Amino acid sequence: MRAMLYLTNGSILDGSGGPAFPGGVLISGDRIEAVGQIDPPADCETIDCGGQAIAPGFIDIHSHSDLQVLDGYRTKTSQGVTTEVVGNCGFSPYPSFEDRDPVRKYADGILFGSGEWGWRNAGDYLAAASERASSTNVVSLIGHGSLRVAFMGERQEPATARELDAMAGCLDEALAQGAAGFSTGLMYAPGSCATREELVGLLKVVARRGKVHATHMRSYSWDLHASIEEQLSLARESGCRLQISHLQAVGRKNWHKQDLALEMLDRARDSGLDVEFDSYPYLAGSTVATQLLPQSALDGGIPSLLSALADPETRARLAQQTEAGLAQEWTDVLVTGLESETNQRLVGKSFAAVGEEWSTTPVEALFRLLELEKGKVNILSFNQSEENLRKLLTHRLCTVISDGFNVKGRPHPRLYGTFPELLGVVCRDKGWIELAAAIHKITAKPAGRMNLSGRGLLRRGFSADVTVFDPGAIRPRATYENPRMTPEGIRIVILGGILLQEN
């Protein structure tokens, strides 16, 4: 048996949010043996932390790395993350049966998938994760969009009673097999056309299993308040625990709506509803370009969209609807990922700039790019204000997340920088949050939202997931222009007692 591992001479932030205290952490196998002032056994391996912070490994409850975690990627490890919750916004790599094309077509843009992938249900995916994921604990949500596509294809009709039954059965099986909860993506086709009856039916299954519903709501811009109201009412009717994903008010004209949004959540929470939210520490968001269009245009998937664009009358109508729905300015929406090699030089440019280059309107530039890239275009958009971001991140109900996903081009810097951004920029440089409170928002708090027992705190008997960092030196190096940069200041990352990183 391996000797014990002893981290000594640290400043302990145990995840509870309480103040730091001096001491060490003793690890035996994959568990924490002792925390604080320790009299270590003679034969243990010792690492002197030099007074730096010792914290529980960070927990990212909103990630889209469902496929990358299987291949030992270190993008999050280098930020101190030891647990990722994947399957968000309705996109999970299961369920899928004989024909896996539909789920791949639906989810490739968010999961950065290519080629052959797909699992029958949560059990098969989690088995693959426990066999192959070497750099993180993998926790998975079953996505509503994937579930719908498996049983209904890309059809945008209400589910029939038989289809709803089949989806509920499959969802129940996934939760029984170890999925931590259920995610919805109500801004993405075909999840966007789910009726209230469908959602209540499925959420009741989740509630019966005591698991959580994480939702990408119908709108974060014009209909922010109505979307929150819908979610609160669904949670009340179904009895399901609710996590509102990447909360924000999108677009300058909607910024004033955020205060009331937070008030609504505070009131619901105070009335006893189990609701919280999460946010990433950046002003910009990122997604697929088809999000800018009315989702009805995706009835039948990308092929239908492309044939709709081929008809001049429909194209003009879609242009008008896209303009009307846009909450941001075209100068604030940037191309970040493109499928083909031919257009890579456009990555980093706004649709306003691409339109100018092509002597056309921004919306027409968007349509042409979607045509050239067969729908595979990723975007980044500057959505919110600094003041609103501060109010989100400092809110008592807020967990901090990455929402990171990869693209062929320039990913959002959050993929490489979220946790150092929080600890170095938000805490230390801006002084918005105390360090201990910030650590709580990326350890014990997210563990609680996802029912991850034995994780998120430095406590005897807890999983030996530990991150040691230098509070004075931690900083992200990833920028919007140069996003694939690993951060500085993360010194040690230990996953289940195994040393993954030591600088």
Number of residues that bind Zn ion (CB under 5 A): 2
At position 392, the amino acid (one-letter code) is: L
**Would you state the structure tokens that stand for residue 105, as one six-digit string?**
């077509």
Asked if 149 contacts 138 with a C-beta cutoff of 8 angstroms, the reply is: no
Q: Report 57-96 residues binding Zn ion (CB under 5 A).
A: 89
Q: Which of 364, 402, 95, 385 is nearest to 255 (CA)?
A: 385
Whole-number minimum distance, CB 308 to Zn ion, in Å?
A: 24
Cβ proximity to Zn ion, 191 vs 413, nearer residue = 191
Whole-number minimum distance, CB 403 to Zn ion, in Å?
A: 6
Which residues, in sequence order, are CB contacts of 366 under 8 Å at separation 6+? 289, 292, 322, 351, 377
> Is residue 216 a contact point for Zn ion (CB under 5 A)?
yes
Whole-number minimum distance, CB 216 to Zn ion, in Å?
A: 4
Cβ proximity to Zn ion, 220 vs 367, nearer residue = 220
Distance set, CA 131 to CA 29, 70, 88, 497 (Å): 19, 8, 22, 17
Whole-number minimum distance, CB 246 to Zn ion, in Å?
A: 6
Whole-number minimum distance, CB 287 to Zn ion, in Å?
A: 7
DSSP of 425-438, one letter per residue? IIIIIT--S-HHHH
Q: Is 174 exposed, middle or buried (0-12, 13-18, 19+ CB in 10 A)?
A: buried
Whole-number minimum distance, CB 285 to Zn ion, in Å?
A: 9
Q: Report 460-479 residues binding Zn ion (CB under 5 A).
A: none
Asked if 145 contacts 106 with a C-beta cutoff of 8 angstroms, the reply is: yes
Cβ proximity to Zn ion, 247 vs 490, nearer residue = 247
Whole-number minimum distance, CB 90 to Zn ion, in Å?
A: 8
Cβ proximity to Zn ion, 183 vs 258, nearer residue = 183
- How far apart are alpha carbons 327 and 201 in whole angstroms? 32
Cβ proximity to Zn ion, 141 vs 202, nearer residue = 141
With CB under 5 A as the contact rule, which of the stretches 209-217, 288-296, 454-462, 472-480 interacts with Zn ion? Answer: 209-217
> Is residue 141 a contact point for Zn ion (CB under 5 A)?
no
With CB under 5 A as the contact rule, which of the stretches 99-107, 166-174, 214-222, 312-320 interacts with Zn ion? Answer: 214-222
Cβ proximity to Zn ion, 188 vs 469, nearer residue = 188
Asked if 416 contacts 73 with a C-beta cutoff of 8 angstroms, the reply is: no
With CB under 5 A as the contact rule, which of the stretches 141-149, 162-170, 211-219, 360-368 interacts with Zn ion? Answer: 211-219
Find the helix or strand (DSSP H, E) in which 34 lies. Answer: strand 31-36
Which residues in this chain contact Zn ion in the complex, by CB under 5 A? 89, 216
